[in-house]
Amino acid sequence: MAATFAALAAAGAIATSCSPSGVMTLTPQVDIRETSSVAPASARGLQRLVPSNPMMAGFPRWTQPREPGVMPAEEVACRRELRRIGVKFQDLAPINDGGACRVDYPVKVFGLSGGVAMQPAATLSCDMALAFAKWTKHELAPVARTRYLTGIGAIHQGSSYSCRKIAGTSTPSEHSKGNALDVMKIKLKNGREIDVRKPGFFSFREKSLLKAVRAGGCEYFNTVLGPGYNADHADHFHFDIKERRNGYVACK
């Protein structure tokens, strides 16, 4: 008799644990870049994800965790584009110096399209490297050919990745994310060097080129600061891809 009561009690416990109220409902965390439809909950309280596009059913969802060591698709695509336009670079190990000083998938850029050397090599996020490479190819190089009848031989940079804050503030600099580059000097293929500091009164070609550098940069970067803006930028151009509300671009 005791055995019979024990069996009945065990069966009741199992039934209770399997009732709809005893099962946790799973709510998928869907990335904002992905659209999904959720089917009605089943009797057991579980939800089933239904791809909004049936053709994508066989592809990984953003909700699935990435495999350790696997580069995200957007980073792979960025590197593919760097190679396509002739950028010489190498992948670096992730950078994490604490706080906002972090670049998950950095690259070191040695050269740009058209044989333009980067001196010294710059450590950047892939997005920043791509923006700078496109600007050099489509803006800087054509401007130099028009005004000096020669190409760009080298770009001398003063700062790429650097763990620091914006001067006089507690705000992390875009340099700390690998999203900024400072250009100090431009060397032409004929050997002439153009210092980006404010040129002399009669330096008409230099003035014209630097004016074009500033204006053209605003099409590729979210921040362009240079000589004439303030004392901190008196000797270089600062380019970065900082994201701001309403897509605001600072060109000063």
Predicted confidence (pLDDT) per residue in 213-223, tens digit: 888 898 999 99
Residues contacting residue 61 through CB under 8 Å, at least 6 positions apart: 34, 36, 49, 51
Residue 139 has pLDDT above 50, yes or no: yes
209 or 83: whose pLDDT is higher?
83
Residue 27 CB burial class (10 angstroms; 0-12, 13-18, ≥19):
exposed
* pLDDT interval class at 54 (50, 70, 90): very low
Residue 42 has pLDDT above 70, yes or no: no
Q: What is the pTM of this model?
A: 0.71
| Number of neighbours of residue 143 by Cβ within 10 angstroms | 19
Pairing of strands 152-159, 116-125: parallel
Distance between CA atoms of residues 194 and 186, nearest Å: 5
* pLDDT interval class at 198 (50, 70, 90): low
* pLDDT interval class at 90 (50, 70, 90): very high
Angle at which helices 204-217 and 141-148 cross, to 10° = 160
Domains of the chain by range and CATH? 19-63 (no CATH), 73-251 (3.30.1380)
Residue 91 has pLDDT above 90, yes or no: yes
Main-chain phi, psi angles of 180, to 5 degrees: -145, 155
| Nearest CA-CA partner of 71 in 82, 79, 83 | 79
Contact 86, 114 (CB under 8 A): yes
The pLDDT tens digits of the residues spanning 104-116 come to 999 999 999 999 9
DSSP assignment letter at 234: T
The sign one gets for the Cα dihedral 209, 214, 220, 221 is positive
Residue 19 token pair: 């009732």
The pLDDT tens digits of the residues spanning 57-84 come to 443 433 344 565 789 999 999 999 999 9
Please calculate the CA angle 217-221-225 and round it to the nearest 5 degrees.
65
Q: Which residue has the tokens 């210092």?
A: 195
Residue 20 has pLDDT above 80, yes or no: no
* pLDDT interval class at 246 (50, 70, 90): confident
| Nearest CA-CA partner of 106 in 183, 174, 181, 178 | 178
Distance between CA atoms of residues 37 and 43, nearest Å: 18
Distance between CA atoms of residues 243 and 64, nearest Å: 27
- The residue-averaged pLDDT of 193-209 equals 75
Identity at 16, one-letter amino acid code: T
